[in-house]
Structure 1
Amino acid sequence: MECVSETCSVMISIILPSYNHGDFIEEAIESVLQQTYQNYEFLVSDDGSSDQTVEILAKYVSRFPVGTYQYTIQKKRLGPVGNINFLIHQARGRYVAVLNSDDYWHRDKLRLQLEHLEKQKNAVACFTWASVVSEKMYNMISTTAFNVKNASQAEFLKKLWADGNFFCHPSLLILRDVYHKIGYYNSAFRQLPDYELWVRLLKYAPVTILEQPLVYYRRTANNTSTISRENRIREITEYAEIYSSFFKGMPADLFHDAFQKKIRKDVVRDATPDVLLAKSFYLLLSESAYCEIAAKEAAIRLLFQESYNLEFEKILQDEYNISIFDQYQLTAQYGTGALFAEYFPANKKAFWAKCKIRFADTLCLKLLRMLRIQVSGLFFGRR
């Protein structure tokens, strides 16, 4: 890779973060080799795989033209988000295309997508439709989940709010400079780093969808989105964090176009920040969000953040009839304390019964511990 960013004529930087996908990564790389569009650089970073991935990556050096293929083996794991951010830092192309190491592309994907994006006025990124490839029981995503019609910036933003993620990450083609303007992926997120980025992206500029299935998205037992208790807990936590800033920095006219129909009161295009705050609060409580429980948690965070904002409180009271006492009720129902509600049953009898059980459990544990000490003393001479 001899040329530097200022002089390199590379149009697209294809980035592929990998980790323990030795069974699939060859198919991903072959789909890059077979692209009908060839003005690209191909950057791969393996995040310390323990399978055959490293050996597979090494054998492809001779298959690509000199200077177009670069693979990095991370000595210390970066994590999935840190790994993709590492690759974005290395990219030199005008555009960045993302490919996961267990997915693969249609041979015309880059050519058709680039042609489509460069015809779109103001669009800074392009997604495509996808076909889902899954292992039997892991087919939890509908084959049409990513096949959404092209729409406006406001319509996409509204859909992200109401329906969750519908953009297929490995279909992304985006202007590289956009990452520098809105920020890279947030490494604090494990389940929803792409969704969090899409919200920031759509508050910044329009995107477009090419309505053709040009990506083969694989579902396996090791996907981040695989259903498990740990993943679902983390997902709700991340939704709450995303919703907490979902409306922050959103231009008033974009807010109007996206959410006017979901709010009882009219939203003027030049609404003041306090008016937008109040309407954001109403939306968080309106049960219109994809993850309602997380939206309510975000609403409570907003209450505490704006507790000294008298204008915000006045708008809530005057326009939505939400008083400070209604706010107290909200924090009792949906606040973080609700997670511990099992320790505080609704009636006193149940509460004291639970206390007795816990006391008995504690007493038994103490007696067992004392007995163990005595037995140890008999056998090992301890007193």
Structure 2
Amino acid sequence: MPVASVPTVSVIMPSYNHARFIPSAITSILDQTFFDLELIIVDDGSADDSVDVIKTFVDSRIRTVFSETNQGAAAATNKAVSLARGTYVALCNSDDRWAKNKLDVQLSIFKNQPDLAAVFSDVAWIDSQGAPLDPSNPSFSNVFQQENRNRHQWLHDLLLGGNCLCHPSILIKRDALNHAGPYDNRFRQLPDLEKWIALVQFGEIFVSPEKLIEFRIHESNTSAANPDTNRRTVNEFRLIVRDAFYKMSADNFAASFGLKAPPLVSETHLKIEKALFLIAHRGAFEHFFREAGLDLMHELLASDDAQRLLSDKYGYNVNTFYSDMGASSPWIVDPKRSVGADIDLTTIPTRHLANQVMKRGLEFMEAKLKRSPK
């Protein structure tokens, strides 16, 4: 069957060191029941045989880019997106596989709900050999089983609960993908979460309950659990939360998180609502929210107009800020967890606090040097 000069769907596939997995990924796309597609593979400087493996596939629908150096997954994805010509764009990781009818199912959903910006799906989990994983393993196996909701509810839940949308399951209108902006290559773990937060601020999405992709779990997954990955994920989420709230429009904030003193009368009023929400939030990662809120409130209190608005509408003043600043700190998670920490940091007189922190830092370095091999 011939392919139209401008295909309906552009499938993008960033590739990096997945020579043993990429044949099944490519085959699962070329074998789709929906034929009118192009497959854009961007190999991001693989050090294994990925490029040679990719070159064994001969199909007029395949377009390839082979980078000499590794730029990062988000950069490779952005390159593929820039080459996409289809009305819709889908992404397949080079170590995953698609169900044969994935595109047909999702395009049918678009046909019935033409105002949607994107369609996601649930996943089936497989191991490095392609065998199904036990339904209870991994422990997060139900993370992509999501009830559908409106975009403001999605915005609320993504920011307060984290990512629950499967990136390689997406089929998205190319115009919507471009509107949401490029993937941020400064993020290794969560560039997709930042993208979804941007997306639901203007477009509705839908999650199909069908398991339309096979998501492979193996030791070299970008998301494979290890201390560096976990720390990086937490740090990236903190930055994403802060930037999302700071940049969010009045309409999206009000509809997703509510207002304490409506209606909004100015940009300063919006910033106050955001700061108070962030400071008051309780739950997972509440330290991120509080830190972002205190930073914003610190900025606001430099303005006489903001101080008047805070006092008149919320009964909030600089003394309230002092209290909020003293309530907790993300930098003292466990006051006693430090080398030589026989004194709780929160009980040390302020005038001695800096010296005590420096002393513990020196003790830590000395202990580390003693443990180092000669």
* Pairwise same-fold verdict (TM > 0.5): yes
Change (3 A) 1:337 1:359: closer
Q: Which residue type is aligned with residue 159 of structure 1?
A: D
Q: Which residue type is aligned with residue 140 of structure 2?
A: S
Cα deviation, residue 202, structure 1 = 1.0
Higher mean C-alpha displacement, 101-110 vs 339-348: 339-348
Distance across 2 between alignment mates of 1:118 and 1:271: 41
Structure 2 partner of 1:126: 119
Distance across 1 between alignment mates of 2:98 and 2:364: 58
Local SS of the residue matching 1:78: coil
Q: Which of these residues, 23, 35, 43, is aligned with residue 20 of structure 2?
A: 23
Structure 1 partner of 2:345: 345
Q: Does 1:80 align with 2:77?
A: no
Q: Which residue type is aligned with residue 9 of structure 1?
A: V
Cα deviation, residue 336, structure 1 = 6.7
Q: Which residue type is aligned with residue 174 of structure 1?
A: I
Q: Which residue type is aligned with residue 17 of structure 2?
A: N
Relative to the length of structure 2, the TM-score reads 0.82
Q: Any conservation in 1 of the 2:125–2:216 contact (CA below 8 Å)? A: yes
Cα deviation, residue 26, structure 1 = 1.5
Change (3 A) 1:59 1:255: same
Q: Which residue type is aligned with residue 345 of structure 1?
A: L
Structure 2 partner of 1:294: 288
Q: Which residue type is aligned with residue 99 of structure 2?
A: H
Q: Which residue type is aligned with residue 233 of structure 1?
A: R
Which structure carries more helix by proportion?
Answer: 1
Q: Does 1:32 align with 2:25?
A: no
Structure 1 partner of 2:98: 105
1:360-375 mapped onto 2 (5 Å cutoff)? none
Distance across 2 between alignment mates of 1:129 and 1:117: 17
Structure 1 partner of 2:322: 328
Structure 2 partner of 1:212: 210
Q: Which residue type is aligned with residue 38 of structure 1?
A: F
Local SS of the residue matching 1:246: helix
Change (3 A) 1:246 1:267: farther
Q: Which residue type is aligned with residue 129 of structure 1?
A: D
Change (3 A) 1:357 1:96: closer
Change (3 A) 1:203 1:353: closer
Structure 1 partner of 2:39: 42
Q: Which residue type is aligned with residue 122 of structure 1?
A: D
Q: Which of these residues, 253, 256, 271, is aligned with residue 254 of structure 2?
A: 256
1:258-273 mapped onto 2 (5 Å cutoff)? 258-260=256-258, 265=260, 267-268=262-263, 272-273=266-267
Q: Which residue type is aligned with residue 345 of structure 2?
A: P
Q: Any conservation in 2 of the 1:120–1:208 contact (CA below 8 Å)? A: no
Cα deviation, residue 115, structure 1 = 1.8
Q: Percent identity?
A: 27
Q: Does 1:278 align with 2:272?
A: yes
Structure 2 partner of 1:224: 222
Local SS of the residue matching 1:189: coil
Q: Which residue type is aligned with residue 268 of structure 2?
A: D
Aligned length: 354
Cα deviation, residue 273, structure 1 = 2.7
Cα deviation, residue 257, structure 1 = 2.8
Local SS of the residue matching 1:203: coil
Relative to the length of structure 1, the TM-score reads 0.80
Distance across 1 between alignment mates of 2:186 and 2:291: 18
Q: Which sections of structure 2, spanning at least 5 residues, go unmatched?
A: none
Q: Which sections of structure 1, spanning at least 5 residues, go unmatched?
A: 367-371, 373-383
Distance across 2 between alignment mates of 1:39 and 1:56: 24
Cα deviation, residue 358, structure 1 = 7.2
Local SS of the residue matching 1:204: coil
Q: Which of these residues, 141, 146, 149, is aligned with residue 147 of structure 2?
A: 149
Change (3 A) 1:325 1:228: farther
Change (3 A) 1:244 1:12: same
Distance across 1 between alignment mates of 2:367 and 2:285: 42
Cα deviation, residue 267, structure 1 = 4.3
Higher mean C-alpha displacement, 37-46 vs 296-305: 296-305
